[in-house]
Amino acid sequence: MKTLLAFNETIALVGDIDGTIDTELLPLVNSDEELRKYFYQKYREAGHWATDADHIDFHRVGDLQQTENFAVNILETTPERIPIKVYTDEGSGLSVRAAFDPRTQRWVLAD
């Protein structure tokens, strides 16, 4: 499923699970509610990261320990920096700062 990154009245900037950006024409709709339903059915929502940095920090879970009452304790995490890139579609004027995590296949917007 593709992730909605940005849109205007006619075009959506979307990212796929391979980290590729594409543009898609949006359907003609009569209301904002119809457009919201279309987005909900067709696209995943991107994560959000409020930062002015040039990267997003992800933490990879390393060792886990399960207790007697089945609770899980995280023993180790590994930080990983994913660079934020600017993706632009010249024709539509859409631009977005985002990062793609290939391990989780998730897009994150740098707000």
What is the reported pTM?
0.74
CA distance 62 to 55: 21
In the chain, what are the domain boundaries?
Answer: 2-55+82-110
- Summarised one tens digit per residue, pLDDT across range 4-35 is 999 998 999 999 999 999 999 999 988 989 99
Per-residue buried b or exposed e for 91-105, using 16+ beta carbons within 10 Å of the residue's own CB:
ebebebbbbbbeeee
Confidence tier at 2 by pLDDT (50, 70, 90)? very high
- Summarised one tens digit per residue, pLDDT across range 64-100 is 555 666 665 655 555 677 888 999 999 889 999 998 8
CA distance 30 to 16: 27
Whole-angstrom CA distances from 27 to 9, 10, 47, 51, 96 are 9, 7, 24, 33, 21
Residue type, position 48, single letter: H
